[in-house]
Structure 1
Amino acid sequence: MTRQEEKARLRAERLALRDAMGAEERVAANAALFAHGLAGIALAPGAILSGFWPIRSEADIRPLLEALRQRGARIALPVVLDRETIVFRELLADAPVVKTGFGSYGPGPEAPEVAPEILLLPLSAFDARGHRIGYGGGYYDRAIARLVAEGLSVTLIGVAFAIQEVASVPFEAHDRPMDAVLTEGGLRWFRQAKMDG
C-alpha cells in the first residue's frame, strides 16, 4: 500500500467514526473541548488566531473562538479562493459569515486579510507524534508554507475528537507536524509551547 493509499484509508476510517458519534456524545465532547481550549490556549492581546466554521461532523469550536475574542484575540477564518489557495480573513464581531466555496463558511471579500499567529486546524486523523491527515486537498499545507516563507512563526493546533487518533500517520519530509492537538481529552503539546501565558 502506498503512503497516499494508507492516508486515504485512515482518513475514511476516522471520518466514519467521527460521523457515527451520537448526539449526546458529541455535545459532551464539544463542551470538554471548549473547556480545555479556553484553559490551555494562551494569547497575547491582539494576537491573530484562525479557527474554522464547522462543516460535516467537525468539532464545533465557534464558542471557543468567541471566548478567545472576549480575551482580546483577533479571530480569522480560512477562505477558499480557488482549487489551490486559502487565505485568512478577519472575522469582526457580529460580522456575517457567507458561503466561501467547497462547503465552507467565512467572512466575505470586504473583510481584511490577515496573517494568523495561531492556526486551529481541522483534520481527519492524527498520531501521538503530531502528524496529521487533513482532507486531502493540501490547502492548509500550502497556506502554512506561505506564512513560514513570509518569515512568520505559526503555532499549529489540530482540533479533533479523541477517536480520530491513529497509531501512526504516514508522513513525508516536507510535512510540518502540529505543535499540539486539542480534543475532548485535553490540549496535548507535541513540541515546546511557543505561546506566552
Structure 2
Amino acid sequence: MEPAPYASSPCRMPEDAETRRDVMRWRRAERARLIALRQAMPVADRQQAEAAILKALEEEPARTIGIYWPFKGEPDLRGWAAERRGNGARIALPVVVEKAAPLVFREWQPDAALVRGVWNIPIPAEDARVLIPDLIISPVVGVDPMQFRLGYGGGFYDRTLAALRAAGHDIRVIGIGFAAQSIPTIFPLPHDIAMNRVILA
C-alpha cells in the first residue's frame, strides 16, 4: 500500500503519526523489493555497473573519504579506496556505536585488523583513529530524483549528517547504486536529508 498523496509540497510529507506509519510500512516493502533486485543482478552486469560508478568517482576531490564495507550486493569500492589512499587520501569506515546515535568514522587501512560490527559487517577496531570525512560515499537501497536516499531503515546516515553539519563540518554526500534502484519518490519525511550527488549505473 502506498502512502496517501501529498497534501502540501511534494518535497516533504507532513510527519503526523499516521503518515509516518504509512511511509514506514511502504518503505519496508520497497526496501525488501529493491535489495532482492540488487542481489539478483548477473555478475557481468554488476561488474560493468561498478566500473562506470568508479569512473564517475575518479575526479571527486577529497582529503578524507568515508566509504562502506559492501553488504547485500552493494557496489564494492574497496579497490578504488585503496588507490585513493595511495594518492594521499585518508579512508574511513562507518561504525555504529549505539542505537539511535550518529555513526563515527574510523580510519581504514588495508593491513589493519577488522572486527565484526552490526550485521557482522567488518569495521576498524576501537583503537583506530576517528576521522571526520569531507566526502561520504553512501550506498543506496533506493533513491529518488530529489536525491533523497532510501537506506536500511536505521536512520544512521541522516542522523550522522545532521550532527556533523550542526557541528560546522562541510560534508558532501554522494549516493551510489545501480540503475534499477531509481524510484519516483521515497516519500521524504522532515528528518530525511537529500544527498549532494547521485551516481547510478
**TM-score interval, smaller chain:** 0.7 to 0.9
In the TM superposition, residue 103 of structure 1 has moved relative to its aligned partner by 2.5
Q: Distance in 1 between matches of 2:199 and 2:88?
A: 20
User: 1:158, CA displacement in angstroms?
Assistant: 0.8
Alignment check: 8 A CA contact 1:51 1:121 kept: yes
Determine which structure has more spread, i.e. the larger CA radius of gyration.
Answer: 2
Question: What residue in structure 1 maps to residue 109 of structure 2?
Answer: 92
Aligned to 1:190: none
Question: Which sections of structure 1, spanning at least 5 residues, go unmatched?
Answer: 185-197
SS at match of 2:74: coil
Structure 1 residue 173 displacement after superposition: 2.4
Kindly provide the amino acid, as one letter, of the partner of residue 118 in structure 2: G
The number of residues matched between the two structures is 180
Q: Distance in 2 between matches of 1:101 and 1:15?
A: 18
Q: Deviations over 1:139-188 (max 9, x none)?
A: 1111111111211111011121111000112102231100011222xxxx
Instruction: Kindly state the Cα deviation for residue 57 of structure 1 after the two structures are TM-superposed.
Output: 0.9
Residue 67 (structure 1) shift: 2.0
Give the aligned residue type for 1:20: A
What's 1:170 paired with? 187
- The alignment partner of 1:66 has SS state of helix
Match of 2:92 among 76, 85, 106: 76
Given that 2:158 and 2:191 are in contact with CA atoms closer than 8 Å, whether structure 1 keeps it comes out as no
1:133 aligns with 2:150: yes
Separation of aligned partners in 2, 1:72 and 1:93:
14
**1:79 corresponds to which letter in structure 2?**
V
**1:181 equivalenced with 2:201 (yes/no):** no
- For residue 93 of structure 1, report the CA deviation from its aligned partner: 5.0
Per-residue deviation, residues 105-149 of structure 1 (Å, max 9, x unmatched): 121111011111111112210011101111001111111111112
- 8 A Cα contact 1:80 1:102, kept in partner: no
Q: 1:71 to 1:82 in 2, by over 3 A?
A: same
Alignment deviations for residues 14-49 of structure 1 (CA, whole Å, 9 cap, x no partner) = 1121011011111222222222211x3123xxx111
Q: Which amino acid aligns with 1:156?
A: V
Secondary structure, aligned partner of 2:56: helix
Secondary structure of the structure 1 residue equivalent to 2:173: strand
- TM-score where L is the length of structure 1: 0.85
Measured in 2, the distance between the counterparts of 1:67 and 1:162 equals: 25
Contact 1:55 1:103 in 2 (8 A): no
Structure 2 unmatched runs, 5+: 4-21
Alignment correspondent of 1:24: 44
1:37 aligned partner: 57
For the aligned residue pairs, the C-alpha RMSD in angstroms reads: 1.5
Whichever residue aligns with residue 39 of structure 2, its letter is D
C-alpha contact (below 8 Å) 1:37/1:64 kept by paired residues: no
Q: Counterpart amino acid of 1:19?
A: Q
Task: Please name the residue that 2:14 is paired with.
Answer: none
Q: Of residues 65, 81, 105 in structure 1, which corresponds to 2:81?
A: 65
